[in-house]
Amino acid sequence: MLAPGSTIGVLGGGQLARMLALAGARLGLKTHVYAPGAEEPAFDVCAARSVAAYDDYVALDAFAKSVDVITYEFENVPAETADFLDARKPVRPNPRVLAVTQDRLVEKQFVQGLGIATAGFADVPDAGALARAVAKLGRPSILKTRRFGYDGKGQAAIRDGGDIGAIFRGLGGAPCILESFVDFAREISVVAARGLDGEFRAYDICENTHEHHILARTTVPARISPETAAKAVECARAITLSADYVGVIAVEMFVVGAGSDETLIVNEIAPRVHNSGHWTLDGALTSQFEQHVRAVAGWPLGSPRRHGRVVMRNLIGEAVEAFAEIAHEDGACLHLYGKKENRAGRKMGHVTYVEAE
């Protein structure tokens, strides 16, 4: 259990790092943020900053020396960076988790290996393999790059009549995975945490709505049966146990069917705090950010108890221009990330509504 006054190192300086730093400060812990850009949202709220590339080993070494534990706000930390740091200070969640979650194919195989359902998938190393994969999984299906995809980037639908060669080239010719199309009833996520002592605690299940492949809205609790909710939590628990995971994790799932026919398909694992858990800042006793800090600092986990029914809405791109109207809404809990430049599709803030149950 790190003593108050210790320093958490965070790789990445976006809004997730910013909210981690704010949560650490509540517990008397300092944050050292390491990021390549000079103007990062997290830099305004942390005790120390490193502006350096992820392959600057001199800067990484100095960073490691200045902190007590290291975590990250994004899963695309290069493996070499994670291993270099882990040789110096504990990196949590551990770098093996990054290796799994950076690669959609490895991630799917890992999840299936635990006996948990995923969409059908096939390895697509090249254009020739794509034809065989489409023959196996049918159309519609979704082609995704194995690495570096997020918010709908690095993916394309394979529909009837589509030229699959052109679609493969459109993703840059990178190694891909083809996934079956899932006709889901809802999208949910389990935001949970595992402590250094192995304790596991999950928030109530989040129901998510995406627009243009970006999370638009989260409602808690999700409209699913208690049995399905319990199964979803068990999937997340099994994943964290198998990965010897420490920190907050988000497991995105599809709910297929309804009522007693509800089944779950794991879609994606985020080894970090997650947008669908932002509601916990206002709607739960312990925020996901504090929960993550507690876990990586070796503290006991906090209570995930909800204050009521919650809706979280993302403020993306020009939606943030309504901040003044939102600030006037009675009961709206507004969060802005301090980003200087607004762009279409950019997450600029969010707003949470908590209604007593």
Q: Which residue ranges make up the site for its own copies (CB under 8 A)?
A: 1, 4-5, 18, 21-22, 25-28, 30, 43-47, 282, 285-286, 294, 299-300, 302-303, 305, 307-308, 323-324, 327-328, 330-331, 333-338, 340, 349, 354, 356
Cα-Cα end-to-end distance for the chain? 35
Which of 267/288 has CB closer to its own copies? 288
Which of 65/340 has CB closer to its own copies? 340
Which of 102/218 has CB closer to its own copies? 218
Which of 162/338 has CB closer to its own copies? 338
Residue 348: CB minimum distance to its own copies, A: 9
Residue 47: CB minimum distance to its own copies, A: 4
Instruction: State the Cα torsion 242-150-148-80 to the nearest 10°.
Output: -50
Please give the Cα distance from 104 to 122 (Å, whole number): 11
Helices (H), 67-207: 79-86, 95-101, 104-113, 127-137, 164-170
Please give the Cα distance from 84 to 91 (Å, whole number): 10
Please give the Cα distance from 141 to 122 (Å, whole number): 11
> Strand pairing partners for 144?
155, 177
**Closest Cα to residue 305, out of 268, 247, 354, 255?**
354
Whether the CB-CB separation of 164 and 131 falls below 8 Å is answered with yes
Whether the CB-CB separation of 42 and 13 falls below 8 Å is answered with yes
* Long-range pairs of 259-264 with CB within 8 A, sequence gap ≥ 24: 259/225, 260/225, 262/185, 262/224, 262/225, 262/227, 262/228, 263/117, 264/117, 264/228, 264/231, 264/232, 264/235
DSSP summary character for residue 299: P
Q: How many CB atoms lie within 10 A of CB 111?
A: 23
Residue 334: CB minimum distance to its own copies, A: 6
Which of 258/285 has CB closer to its own copies? 285
DSSP string covering 332-343 = EEEEE---S---
Which of 217/335 has CB closer to its own copies? 335
Residue 2: CB minimum distance to its own copies, A: 11
Residue 177: CB minimum distance to its own copies, A: 38
Residue 356: CB minimum distance to its own copies, A: 8
Which of 5/113 has CB closer to its own copies? 5
CA distances to 59, 94, 118, 213, 215 from 210, rounded to whole Å, are 38, 29, 19, 6, 4
Residue 294: CB minimum distance to its own copies, A: 7
Which of 160/325 has CB closer to its own copies? 325
**Closest Cα to residue 9, out of 60, 79, 77?**
60
Residue 227: CB minimum distance to its own copies, A: 25
Which of 145/286 has CB closer to its own copies? 286
Residue 150: CB minimum distance to its own copies, A: 23
Q: What is the CA radius of gyration of the chain?
A: 20
